[in-house]
Structure formats: C-alpha cells, structure tokens
Amino acid sequence: MTQSKKLLLIDGNSVAFRAFFAMHQQLESFVSPDGLHTNAIYAFNNMLDIILKEVQPDYALAAFDAGRTTFRTAQYADYKGGRSKTPEELSEQFPYLQELLKDRGITPYQLSNYEADDIIGTLAREADEQAWDTSIVTGDRDLTQLTSDHTTVVITVKGVTQLEKYTPQHVEDKMGIKPSQIIDLKGLMGDTSDNYPGVTKVGPKTALKLLDEYGSIENLYDHVDEMKKSKLKEHLIEDKNQAFLSKKLATIDRHAPLTLGLADIPYTGDHLEELAEFYRKLNFKSFLNKLQPAAGDDGANPFAGQLHEYTELTAANLAAALKPTAPQAFEIEMLDDNYHTSPIVGFVLGTPGHWYVSSQPELLQTDAMHAWLADESRRKYVFDGKRNYVAANRMGGHLQGLEFDLLLASYLLDVNNNSNDLGEIAHSYGDMDVQTDAEVYGTGAHRSMPEDANVFYQHLTQKAAAIYQLEPDLYQKLKDHEQDQLFRDMEMPLSVVLAEMEIAGITVDAERLKKMGAEFQQTLKVLEEKIYNEAGEKFNINSPKQLGVILFEKMNMPVIKKTKTGYSTSVDVLEKLKSYSPIIDDILNYRQIAKIQSTYVEGLLKSILPDHKVHTRYLQTLTQTGRLSSVDPNLQNIPIRLPEGRKIRQAFVPRQDGWEIFSSDYSQIELRVLASISGDTNMQEAFKEGRDIHANTAMKIFGLDDPSQVTPNMRRQAKATNFGIVYGISDYGLSQNIGISRPEAKRFIAAYFEQYPQVKEYTEKSVQIAREQGYVETLFHRRRYLPGIHSKNFNVRSFAERTAMNTPIQGSAADIIKVAMINMQQALRAEGLQATMLLQVHDELIFEAPSAEIETLKKLVPKVMDSAVKLAVPLKVESAYGPTWFAAK
DNA sequence: GGAGTCACG
DNA sequence: ACGTACGTGACTCCA
C-alpha cells in the first residue's frame, strides 16, 4: 500500500495579516538594511518552519487574494466594504513574501476575480477526491467549513506560531454545528468584518438555536410559516433574501477555474542558495544560521560571517579565559526550568572575539573559577542572574559582580514581553544572531542536547554574544524610561536576595504532612459515601461535568450560572443551592478537603528534596505589576483562611531545634499607598491617627459620628468597598462581592468618593495618564503599558481603566517590599545574625531564627520594613512567631 | 492543552 | 447597552 500524498495549502493573506499584527510592537525593530519592514515575513517564516516540519508535504501552495474586486463584489457591491486600507508597512512585504515562499519550495498563486479561500477550496476538493491528506493553514475560522475526513484546517492563534487543528469533529465540538453548516450560520448572522448583513437581530446564539432546530437555511425557510408569531419570525421573513445572499457570499467556491492543478505544485524544499541570499538581503541572521549546508558540502558553515568563533575551555586555557578585566558575559546552561535540580550541561564566558565554552560543569568547581566567580571586580553580564547564582552555588561557587542582567532589563522595559528565552528576547530587540532554546533543544519531552557538540557550543557562544551586544542598547532604554535606578538598585540586587532565599529553602515536616494526609483520606472516604448515597449513584465528584449532570439534571436543581462548556458548579453557585439538598454541603466539604489533600499534602510532599526542604523559585519577571510569583512549589498560596487548610502550616518548621519561625507583615499596605499617592487628606488622617481604616470608612459612608455605631456588617461592607477601590471599582463588581443591589453599590461608591474626594481624583487621573502616555507607573517608575485603554471594545477598555487605577497601587506596594527585602538582607548580615529570610508573600516576610534572636528580630524587622520608603502616611508592620509557620501569625 | 475550580495577597 | 472586581499557580478532568 502506498502512503497517500500530503498537500499543504496556505491562506497567504490571512496568515500575513496575523503575522503582521502579532509582531506589530516590533515593527520598527524589524527593518532590513534598505528600509523594508520585515516583521510579517519573519513571523510568517517562523510559522513555515513549524508547519513544514509537522506536515512534511509532497505538494504545497500559498494562495493570495488577487485584488478587491471578485465575483462576490459583483453579487454584493459592499462585500468587504468599509475595511480599512492595508497598512503600507504590510503591503510592501507581500512581494518579498512571495519570493520567500518560492525559495522555500512553495508555489505562490493568485487568480483574478477569486479570493484565496476559493483557490484553497478548489485544490482541497481535488485532493480529497484522490484521498490525499490536506492541511490548510489560515487565521480565518470560516475556512473550517472545508474540514473533512482528509482535510484538516490549522488555525493560527496568539500570533502565528501557535496552531490549532480542526477536524470535522473539532468543529462540531467547538462550534456546535457541522462544518457544512458554517455557511448557514454566516447566512443568518452575517459577518461584520466582511460587511454583509444576515438577518436583523440574529447573532451567534439565535443562529445556533435555529440551526439546531432546522439544520439549514433552506429547511428553515421551508418551515418559517409554522413558527409562532414573534419579532424573530418577522425579521426572518423580512430578511429572507439577505439570508440567502449572505450564505452565498460565505460559501467558498470549490470549482474555481484555476490555471494550475495539483501536479503543478510539488513541494521542492528549501532552495538553499536563493534562500540564503534572501535571508542576507533581509538581515535574517538567525534563519541564516539555521540553514543546513547542502548535501555534498564539506560541512563547513557557508555563513561563517554570522557566527562567532569560540574556544573550548580546558584546564590549560582557563587562566587566559579568566584574565580580562572588562565585563564578561557569563552563562551556565541547564535544560530544565528548575535550576535547583536540573543537570548542568555546560557554560560559556568571555568578551567579544574571545568566547570560551565548556560542556564540563566540573570546571566550575575549580579554584580558579571559584575565585573569578566571587571576585566582585570581575563584572558579569548575564541573562537571569538568579538562575546563574543558584547554579554557581551548586558548584560550590559564589557568583558576585553581577553588572547587567538582560532578562531583568527586558522585563522592566516591557512587562508584557515576559518571555524568559534569551533568543526570543534578543529577536524582539532586533538581534537575529541567536536561536531560541526551543529551536536548539526542542520542547517538552523532546528537550535534549543537540547530537553535535558544536551546535551546542555555537548556541552558547551566540547567547553570550547577544547579551554583550544588547547591553548598551537596553541600558540606554532603561535610562530613557528613568528606570536605571529601578534596575540597578532594586531588581539587580533583589535577584541575589531571592537566590539566597531560594537556596536556603524552608524545612517541611513530611511525617506531619503524611499523618494529616491519612486523616484527610478518611474524611474524604466518608464524604464520598454520603454523596453517592444522596445522589443515588456513584460518579466522579471531581468532574464538574458529571457533578452538573447529577445536580441539575438528575436532582433538578435550578441552574444559577453557565460556563462555556456546561453548568457552573463553583462555590458561589453551590452556596445558593444549599437549601435544596444536604448533598451541597457535603460536596463543598469534599471539595475543600480534596483541594488540601491533592495540592498541599500530596503536591507539597512531591517537592521536598533530600535536605527535607522545599526550594521554591520566585519568578521575578512575570507579573504585570511588579509582584513576585512563586512556583515549584508555590509557597505564596499556602492555606490560612479556613482552619482545616491552615493546619498545613504546622508542617513548615525551622531547620533545627531551638529555632523558630518569625513573620512580619505590612498592615494594609495598598490602602496606605493609595492614601499617599492620591494625597487624600481624609484617608491620610485616618492612618496618621492609627484608626481602624475599615471602621473609619464605614462611619463615613454610613454617615455615623461615633465608632461604636459601626456594626460588624457595616465594617465588612466598608472593607469590601476599600478593596473595590484598589481594584478599580465598578458598582456591579461591588454588588456581587457583598451581595447588595447594584443601585445600592452605586450609592456606596458615591458616598465613598464624597468622603475621600482625592481618591476619586486619583482614579480619574490614572485613567487620564494611561490615555495620554499609553502607560502607568509605580512610585519607583515601574511601567505597564495599557494598549487596551483606546480600545473600541467596552470590555477591553474597561479592563485597561481598572488596571490603570490598580497597577500603581499594587505595583508600588510590590516596590516597597522589594526595597525592604534588600535592606533586610543587608541588616541581617550587618548585625551578624543567624536569622535567615526564607519567604515573601507579597506583603509579608518569613524568617527562621534561633530563639535567642527573636527579641532582636521583633525590633529589627519592623524597623527595616517600615523605613523602606517615606510615604505621606506611616507604614505599619505586625509580627508574630512560634515553633511552626502555623503559630507565626 | 484548555477549562474549571480554588488556594493565596 | 455592553458584563467586570486586581494580581498569581496547581490540580483534575477530558478532548
């Protein structure tokens, strides 16, 4: 049996548009030497790499639209009317895109009067008839109407390098209709981007309902007279012609008069010489480097000009390598994310023209290397200093003299670009000389060392060179943003503090956890039995889908909320169902215990290392606000609010007998930040006089004149309002949160703003600033861009507005504790204490210390924390300590 | 791998 | 009228 042929069809226009806008932010860094924008070509080519590798086609074609007028505009003059003109920066790229496709062995093609869709539809039909396997790549979901047993439609999402495959089954699962019904759907609902109307007032929901009942537009209109009287019926009858026309417009012509056939479009693979010339012309160095030398070549890389030379490091040349007094780029390579445990596979160091590489980690353990690492006057340029600090520590070294961290710099310049791959970041700043780790090592289970050691060495060298090359550029950008202090005096030193905290780790009493786990297991068993009894059958309680069937179909409880995929069974829904059956309470209990068991007992046990500790990793370049996050395990969400979960904290213990856990937290730091940056005199006064801020707010919004009149419920509502303000208030959100009506919530907010007028000004000003400059800033010039602030989409814009209010508050609080941590580490050292800082939980620092040092810490820690910055209001710090983390609160 | 759920500040 | 609180990570199910 011969294998069936494989055909690849690309929707050229659609993918190019996606590619262009996916890399729109980098538009100006992707310019060829002669001024051509190349961002769409670059991203398109990335997509080609992925899809060619996956499909391995025998035949391939990329279809393009021929122009604006087609047979569809003849049927409906406004077809695709009102579309804005293709940006010049993109249209100039199309001729080059076609050249690229040819050089990569793919036939570009267009046909006057027809769209790319029709070319693709026609060829896919021809291939289908011969039972070939076809893959269609596009950014346009409408093309999923072409899926069949032999035809898969691959949709580009999140840019163009993530691909979503659609088979007929997937189409049905995702959209609720068969591929052939997509045109009926479009007929009924129309298409705003293609500018045809459909039936008045019919959107996706109504259209899906109608199709569910009638199957097609034709059948619907055969039975339209039988429908009972309604507005919908009137619209359907009135817009009948439009519906049929729209369906026709949406239908891909699968018999377009093509001037070529399948036999004319064999995939011929990369045409190496032309392709290399093309890459050179466009300055695509990384693609150039990836080109395989042609068969029969002597193996030498034909593009040596793009690659940096390197020397393999040995005991003999080590001294020479370590000699330069200029800053050196340095990087220890590990293939796994978790640098506490990942094997170390090699390292690189050097200056331009003098790169040294090694795949022998043992060299890091030599005295010469140790001396160099620890020598502060030997300045190092790195990518992810924390990762390198931990790795060096594992090899017995102490990494000092960190001068520039490319990862931290790129994060500060744009927190949206939170890639942690050196290659990706270098590309985004226009350096194409270096590949991504995914390209060199693969991803997921395929991640491994390249077979050829030279490939590995070359990659390390290119990385080191990229760090060196980008340093002046990024440092200048930091200065332009007034972020050089934030970089040099906050994030750089913090990375070392975090490394030390991660290395210290926190001891976990595994026996204690196991014992708790056994108890939870019993409780779960009992609850499980009870739930099965109440439901009258066994089912998987952990499956929201199965649970939904039991509650809402078998037991007929009212549906409170729906999710994309079915019934919602979340806590707030279950809370409302409590009165219907005791099963609800049991499910809530079961969920609570199951969560503790799986995440905090079993999960935590898995991350304990042989030293009886867990070593989290703090992600310093991830959040949009400047906060840290914690992974592997996450130690920033250990339970505390409910007594059962809180017990988990009993398993977090000091590293030796006679020591204790000590914890200090900022009290209401975000509200204090708000009081300070808004300049609100009423709020500042409350903090200056040490009043209970929530009770104070309650008095103000309820119009009371004595604190004794504040009931617990008033205080609760006032507290929620305070939080709401910090989050970027909305009446709806507040009403949901405290269970009041929306008008009531509205009155709360109005009363709040009347009492704290400068807070109101602050919220308005933040949004204003975001609109004018495109970003907001924290106290220490941490910056967050908010492109959504100008969106025409209400949701997107509203979100950006709330973010504009919240980010300076949350981010400044994050800045403050970061300063405190740096000062704290310094203070512990200066005082010669054994106490060790272990954890940070956003507004809280956790230490372990000998009992004898507790009295010192009780004074020292709050002093360091509350003096981290000078605000218009005092910072308040509260401390606690005890034999376990449980007691230290 | 996405969705749902729930743990934290 | 639109439909939401801000910031995270881990686990389970299920395609």
For A618-635, how does the pLDDT look when each residue is reduced to its tens digit (9 = 90+)?
A: 999 999 999 999 999 999
Q: What does the pLDDT read at residue A305?
A: 37
* DSSP-derived 3-state class of residue A251: coil
Kindly report which amino acid residue has its CA closest to the C1' atom of nucleotide C1. A794
Residues whose CB falls within 8 Å of the CB of residue A783, separated by 6 or more in sequence, listed in order: A412, A413, A414, A415, A481, A483, A775, A776, A777
In a domain, A345, yes or no: yes
Contact predicate A202/A224, CB 8 Å: no
- Say how many C-beta atoms besides its own lie within 10 A of residue A378's C-beta: 21
Residue A889 has pLDDT above 50, yes or no: yes
CA of A782 to C1' of C12 (A): 37
Kindly report which amino acid residue has its CA closest to the C1' atom of nucleotide C6. A727
In a domain, A688, yes or no: no
Q: What does the pLDDT read at residue A303?
A: 33
CA of A425 to C1' of C3 (A): 36
Specify whether A348 is located in the same domain as A446: yes
Tokens of A714: 């008033």
Specify whether A802 is located in the same domain as A887: yes
Q: What does the pLDDT read at residue A570?
A: 95
In a domain, A28, yes or no: yes
Q: What does the pLDDT read at residue A54?
A: 81
Domain boundary among A729, A755, A781: A755
Specify whether A114 is located in the same domain as A202: no
Specify whether A50 is located in the same domain as A158: yes
| Nearest nucleotide to A630, CA against C1' atoms | C9
CA of A171 to C1' of C14 (A): 17
**Once rounded to an integer, what is the mean pLDDT over residues A398-405?**
98
Specify whether A407 is located in the same domain as A526: no
User: Smallest Cα–Cα separation from A403: which of A378, A375, A373, A425?
Assistant: A378
Q: Cα–Cα distance between A354 and A461 in angstroms, integer?
A: 10
Tokens of A408: 């931290």
CA of A462 to C1' of C5 (A): 46
pLDDT in tens, A729-770: 888 889 988 888 999 999 999 999 999 999 999 999 999 999
CA of A344 to C1' of C5 (A): 44
Highest mean pLDDT among A287-291, A397-401, A424-428: A397-401
Contact predicate A527/A589, CB 8 Å: yes
Residue A392's domain is classified under what CATH number?
A: 3.30.420.10
Grade residue A109 by pLDDT with cuts at 50, 70 and 90.
Answer: very high
Torsion angle of the four alpha carbons A726, A728, A730, A736, in this order, in degrees rounded to the nearest 10:
-50
pLDDT in tens, A807-836: 999 999 999 999 999 999 999 999 999 999
For A270, the domain range is 1-167+261-293
- At A447, which amino acid appears? R
Residue A804 has pLDDT above 50, yes or no: yes
- Give the number of domains in chain A: 6
Q: Cα–Cα distance between A688 and A683 in angstroms, integer?
A: 9
Quick one: which H or E segment has residue A30?
A: none
Query: Phi and psi dihedrals of A395, rounded to 5?
Result: -95, 20
Residue A789 has pLDDT above 50, yes or no: yes
Residue A293 has pLDDT above 50, yes or no: no
Specify whether A392 is located in the same domain as A430: yes
Specify whether A524 is located in the same domain as A433: no
Kindly report which amino acid residue has its CA closest to the C1' atom of nucleotide C3. A795
Query: Phi and psi dihedrals of A403, rounded to 5?
Result: -115, -35
Kindly report which amino acid residue has its CA closest to the C1' atom of nucleotide C2. A794
Contact predicate A30/A93, CB 8 Å: no
Residue A773 has pLDDT above 80, yes or no: yes
Residue A643's domain is classified under what CATH number?
A: 1.20.1060.10
In a domain, A734, yes or no: yes
Residue A500 has pLDDT above 90, yes or no: yes
Kindly report which amino acid residue has its CA closest to the C1' atom of nucleotide B9. A842
Q: Please tell me the pTM assigned to this model.
A: 0.72
Residue A185's domain is classified under what CATH number?
A: 1.10.150.20
Q: What does the pLDDT read at residue A297?
A: 39
In a domain, A394, yes or no: yes
Q: What does the pLDDT read at residue A57?
A: 92
**Once rounded to an integer, what is the mean pLDDT over residues A24-30?**
70
Q: Cα–Cα distance between A117 and A252 in angstroms, integer?
A: 6
Residue A231 has pLDDT above 90, yes or no: no
Q: What does the pLDDT read at residue A304?
A: 34
| Nearest nucleotide to A170, CA against C1' atoms | C15
Contact predicate A62/A101, CB 8 Å: yes
Specify whether A28 is located in the same domain as A40: yes
Kindly report which amino acid residue has its CA closest to the C1' atom of nucleotide B4. A544
% of chain A beyond a pLDDT of 90: 69
Specify whether A849 is located in the same domain as A708: no
CA of A381 to C1' of C5 (A): 42
Contact predicate A267/A105, CB 8 Å: yes
Residues whose CB falls within 8 Å of the CB of residue A300, separated by 6 or more in sequence, listed in order: A293
CA of A14 to C1' of C14 (A): 31
pLDDT in tens, A518-555: 999 999 999 999 999 999 999 999 999 999 999 999 99
- Positions on chain C within 7 A of a protein C-beta: 1-15
**Once rounded to an integer, what is the mean pLDDT over residues A81-99?**
80
Q: What does the pLDDT read at residue A159?
A: 65
Q: What does the pLDDT read at residue A515?
A: 97
Kindly report which amino acid residue has its CA closest to the C1' atom of nucleotide B8. A637
Kindly report which amino acid residue has its CA closest to the C1' atom of nucleotide C10. A599
Domain boundary among A479, A505, A531: A505
DSSP state of A228: P
Q: What does the pLDDT read at residue A1?
A: 47
CA of A138 to C1' of B3 (A): 25
CA of A590 to C1' of B4 (A): 16
Residue A722 has pLDDT above 80, yes or no: yes
Q: Cα–Cα distance between A135 and A145 in angstroms, integer?
A: 13
Q: What does the pLDDT read at residue A296?
A: 36
Specify whether A475 is located in the same domain as A373: yes
- DSSP states of A716-728: HHHHHHHHHHHH-
Q: Supply the mean pLDDT for chain A.
A: 91
Residues whose CB falls within 8 Å of the CB of residue A362, separated by 6 or more in sequence, listed in order: none
Q: What does the pLDDT read at residue A79?
A: 83
- Positions on chain B within 7 A of a protein C-beta: 1-9
Specify whether A675 is located in the same domain as A771: yes
Our measurement of the distance from residue A511's CA atom to the centroid of its chain's CA atoms, rounded to an integer in Å, reads 36
Tokens of A732: 């709806």
Residue A83 has pLDDT above 80, yes or no: no
CA of A172 to C1' of C9 (A): 32
- In a 13 Å sphere around the CA of A833, the CA atoms on its Cβ side amount to 24
User: Smallest Cα–Cα separation from A619: which of A785, A407, A404, A868?
Assistant: A407
Query: Phi and psi dihedrals of A348, rounded to 5?
Result: -140, 145
- At A838, which amino acid appears? L
In a domain, A302, yes or no: no
Specify whether A138 is located in the same domain as A244: no
Domain boundary among A473, A505, A537: A505
CA of A636 to C1' of C9 (A): 9
Residue A875's domain is classified under what CATH number?
A: 3.30.70.370
Torsion angle of the four alpha carbons A125, A129, A135, A140, in this order, in degrees rounded to the nearest 10:
20
- Does A633 sit behind a cis peptide bond, omega within 30 degrees of 0 on the bond before it? yes
Q: What does the pLDDT read at residue A29?
A: 65
User: Smallest Cα–Cα separation from A45: which of A281, A279, A272, A293?
Assistant: A279
Q: What does the pLDDT read at residue A299?
A: 40
Higher pLDDT, A180 or A308: A308
pLDDT in tens, A363-379: 999 999 999 999 999 99
Q: What does the pLDDT read at residue A806?
A: 96
Q: What does the pLDDT read at residue A187?
A: 83
Q: What does the pLDDT read at residue A191?
A: 80
Grade residue A568 by pLDDT with cuts at 50, 70 and 90.
Answer: very high
Grade residue A28 by pLDDT with cuts at 50, 70 and 90.
Answer: low
Residues with CB under 7 A from strand B: A 162, 444, 544, 563-566, 568-571, 574, 588, 591-592, 595-596, 599, 636-642, 645-646, 810, 841-844
In a domain, A316, yes or no: yes
In a domain, A636, yes or no: yes
